[in-house]
Structure 1
Amino acid sequence: MGLAISRTLHTLLLGCGMLLLAPITPSATAAPTPLRVVAQEGTEPKFIPAGIGRVVGLCVDLFRAIERVEPNVVFVGDQQWLPLLRAHSELATHQHDALCAVQRTDERARQYIFLDPPLFQLRYQLIARADDTVVINNWDDVRKLGSKGVILTNRGYVTPEMLERIGGLQVDPSATSPAMNLQKLIAGRGRFFLHRAPGMQGFVERAGASQRVKILPTVLITTDVYMAMGTHVDPAVRLRVQRAIEQLEKSGEMTRLLKKWD
């Protein structure tokens, strides 16, 4: 009787030991939460084409930096291009989960969740033809030019709305991409092209226009940009991304990325 009990206890202890020592299988480890994103066309330096099937840029680097800080999330889709207007539309309809470096507007605030703190600040400056001797210190200098001071902007971007609020300016918002506006400027179909830094000089150089246009030094508008996330995204996941952004800001990593792509 005692021997039987002893053997039973021995078997139970072995079983417990096997349970305690059993390795954790991959299925027991939670996979990172995927966040669907896209590469937004015409938004250099956020997303820059780098050969067939490859996208680089500030936002691509930022996604990877967030993943290093917060390994429980992973951004997928940043190698796939989508027009900017469609990218915004698909975030609003929950076909994607996040957009990188987005300006906050009242309409967008009703459709997305903007994470604080801001990622960085955009600086808007005018690009003119290289042989233009114009000096611009403020918007009044542009207004005085009247019909000879037409500003090219992009349809679907925030800039036409910003210029409308400033008022008294001649604006042509018909182009659908920065590259198209640069060509319009060179062709004399506008006096200025309002574009934004960081990344403005690199954009001009990649377009092969360094000798044909110049960036005027005056910063006329500044505005913050944020990580925007769909209202459908789990609040706990949004919080993880927000805390990762905060950590990148405190560590100086955001500043380093901005310098890399400015």
Structure 2
Amino acid sequence: MLRQRLPAAVALCLALYLALAGGRAWAAQPVVLKVVAQEGTEPKYIPAGIGRVVGLCVDLYRAIERTDPGVVFAGDQQWTPALQALSQLASHEHDALCAVQRTDERARQYVFLEPALFQLRYQLIARAGDPATINNWDDVRKLGPQGVILVNRGYTAPGMLERIGGLQVDASATTPAANLQKLIAGKGRFFLHRAPGMQGFIDRAGAAGKVKILPAVMATTQVYMALGTHVDPAVRARVQRAIEQLEKNGELARILQKWA
């Protein structure tokens, strides 16, 4: 009698074990969030040789993965034009973008996670020999047509300067590198760019000694982790908890200091 019932009991135990093991294996599968490396956004993403991207956002993705090993960011070694990356997040072609400025339009397209990752500082870059002393926007306005400010088309800076008003703005270039070359060539008096990472950008562009960063901070803004509206709210909550933990333990500040 025992011999007849034993195989059935063994089979039942084996079935339960396999079911539990299979459940654990399924639960262990990480959530993969697709991202891209945005061109022209140093120090968020910086080219570091053939096929390698480093930078603040790459470090942040790895820090979130260490904090929550069930979340993986994939694609940060693949370059995409910055404006295209923004539109692709809105159309759900990828899932997240790091260090994005929040605007009313973007708030309708993405979900922004608190807390803010860090603060951007906008400063003016001028040619090395420019004698202008700029402390505020009124000093720029006084220059009139001789105070043209170069900004990147499609970024938030043109709208910001329009709201400030009374400034001569050229937003025809789409990348920081293009505007830096325009500045050196005399096709504008200033280039409004953001820190941290401004000096590193200038050095890597081969413009050291040709331009200078003016000390006045002209504006500041916060940047956030942005996720597509299609991302599962439970996954958004996990990423947000990881960011909160990184802020509390000082890792966010350490990453910013490294790339500043």
Same fold (TM over 0.5): yes
Distance 1:102 1:59 in 2: 11
Q: State the percentage of identical aligned residues.
A: 71
State how 1:115-130 maps to structure 2 within 5 Å.
Answer: 115-130=113-128
1:46 and 1:59 in contact (8 A); partners too: yes
The code of the aligned residue for 2:91 comes to T
SS in 1 for 2:21: coil
State how 1:179-258 maps to structure 2 within 5 Å.
Answer: 179-258=177-256
Higher Cα Rg, which structure = 1
Matched, 1:24 2:21: yes
Match of 2:107 in 1: 109
Match of 1:174 in 2: 172
Of residues 32, 42, 49, the one that matches 1:44 is 42
SS in 1 for 2:186: coil
Distance 1:91 1:15 in 2: 49
1:54 and 1:79 in contact (8 A); partners too: yes
Match of 2:143 in 1: 145
The structural deviation recorded for 1:29 is 4.4
Distance 2:138 2:26 in 1: 64
**CA pair 21-95 structure 1, distance change in 2 beyond 3 A:** closer
Question: How much is the aligned-residue C-alpha RMSD, in angstroms?
Answer: 1.7
The structural deviation recorded for 1:15 is 4.9
Distance 1:246 1:169 in 2: 39
**Unmatched runs of 5 consecutive residues or more in structure 2:** none
Distance 1:157 1:18 in 2: 59
The structural deviation recorded for 1:40 is 0.6
User: TM-score under structure 2 normalisation?
Assistant: 0.94
Does 27-36 or 251-260 show the bigger shift?
A: 27-36
The structural deviation recorded for 1:13 is 5.6
Distance 2:139 2:237 in 1: 45
The structural deviation recorded for 1:30 is 3.1
**Unmatched runs of 5 consecutive residues or more in structure 1:** none
Distance 2:178 2:93 in 1: 28
Distance 1:89 1:18 in 2: 51
Match of 2:63 in 1: 65
State how 1:8-23 maps to structure 2 within 5 Å.
Answer: 8=4, 10-11=6-7, 14-15=10-11, 18=14
